[in-house]
Amino acid sequence: MIARSNVLNSPLMPPVKLIYSDNYDLNLGSHVFPSTKYKRVHDKLIQEKLAAPGDFLEPQPADDRDVLLVHTEEYMRKLKTGTLSEFELARLEIPYSPEMVNAAWLSAGGSILAAGQALAHGIAVNIGGGFHHAFPAHGEGFCAIHDVAIAVSKLLAEETIHHAMTVDLDVHHGNGTAYIFARNSSVFTFSMHQENNYPLDKPPSDVDVSLPDGCEDEQYLHLLRENLWHALSSFQPDLIFFIAGADPYKEDQLGGLNLTLAGLQERDRIVFSMAKEKGAPVAVTLAGGYARDVEDTISIHVGTVRAAMQVAGVT
């Protein structure tokens, strides 16, 4: 039995809202994408007393009408009926299963919930999502539907917000995000990624910070501070979506940067601190993470939640 943290019990402290479902697991087995990571992050947050079991909000699957704000009807039908072509399945790079599709819809619902919670409370973390390689009519790179784009599009359509910024610090370029919002002046897309890595074709974001192979903490953090500050000074978002990939880590199997665990913690603190200084709420998604030791990936994601709590003043 784990005691509920007194700090988190305090009504005076602004809580960082956490969103999670056991059904986020994409049911991928021994795939390089460790799809059990969501549950392991959830469990470690409790184990480290950063959260109590009752602190997690359970998302509902995204409504199809919201999914259609981003994706085509034909693609949605193929996903729901298991009729993707061989080529489409190969491009998705994860095996098809009804659980995978359910998890994708649930992750999008989680990001919608995170956005609403962030607007109400300052920071919310979806312990899932960040499927930034999904395009309107196809999925790729482990990403079936684009949870962040769906959430942003819904809030814009409802006029809950008028301007959003995506801050994508996954090691891989946010190609789906850049493509989806290319002609939308209400959304500012910021991607900081390894240049010589997937995806080969990188549609331009509003700001692309292309990093050299082997980029280390000092250079990375310097570039992040400069470019993010500049972006936040030129565009005042009503909401930031932070795509907090764990794969810039030096031990990542699909990444070629050289960031340490401490460097990634500092990365997260910079994002939350700058957002706070600019008065912008932040919704977080986890995105990628393929460390040789999956425990490192879990620690990086837990570290993102810890950094959020530190900056929000909860811990």
What amino acid positions are annotated as catalytic residues? 133
CB of 247 to Zn ion, least distance (A): 4
Residue with tokens 């769906």, as numbered in its chain: 150
Stretch that binds Zn ion, among 29-37, 64-72, 162-170, 176-184 (CB under 5 A): 162-170
Q: Tell me phi and psi for residue 127, to 5 degrees.
A: -80, 55
CA separation for the pair 107, 19 (Å, rounded): 10
Which C-beta is closer to Zn ion: that of 109 or that of 256? Answer: 256
Q: Does 245 bind Zn ion (CB under 5 A)?
A: yes
By CB under 5 A, name the one of 133, 146, 172, 267 that touches Zn ion: 172
CB 268 within 8 A of CB 303: yes
CB of 256 to Zn ion, least distance (A): 11
User: What's the burial of 130, exposed, middle or buried (CB within 10 Å: 0-12/13-18/19+)?
Assistant: buried
Spacing of C-alpha 292 from chain mean position: 20
CB 130 within 8 A of CB 58: no
CB of 70 to Zn ion, least distance (A): 19
Stretch that binds Zn ion, among 62-70, 169-177, 217-225, 226-234 (CB under 5 A): 169-177
Q: Does 170 bind Zn ion (CB under 5 A)?
A: yes
CB of 130 to Zn ion, least distance (A): 8
Stretch that binds Zn ion, among 21-29, 32-40, 216-224, 284-292 (CB under 5 A): 284-292
Q: Does 288 bind Zn ion (CB under 5 A)?
A: yes
Considering only residues 9 through 38, tell me which ones interact with Zn ion, judged by CB under 5 A: none
Which C-beta is closer to Zn ion: that of 86 or that of 293? Answer: 293
CB of 301 to Zn ion, least distance (A): 13
Nearest residue (beta carbon) to Zn ion? 288
Q: Does 66 bind Zn ion (CB under 5 A)?
A: no
CB 56 within 8 A of CB 126: no
Q: Does 247 bind Zn ion (CB under 5 A)?
A: yes
Stretch that binds Zn ion, among 9-17, 21-29, 210-218, 287-295 (CB under 5 A): 287-295
Other C-beta atoms lying within 10 Å of the C-beta of residue 240: 25
Binding site for Zn ion (CB under 5 A): 170, 172, 245, 247, 288
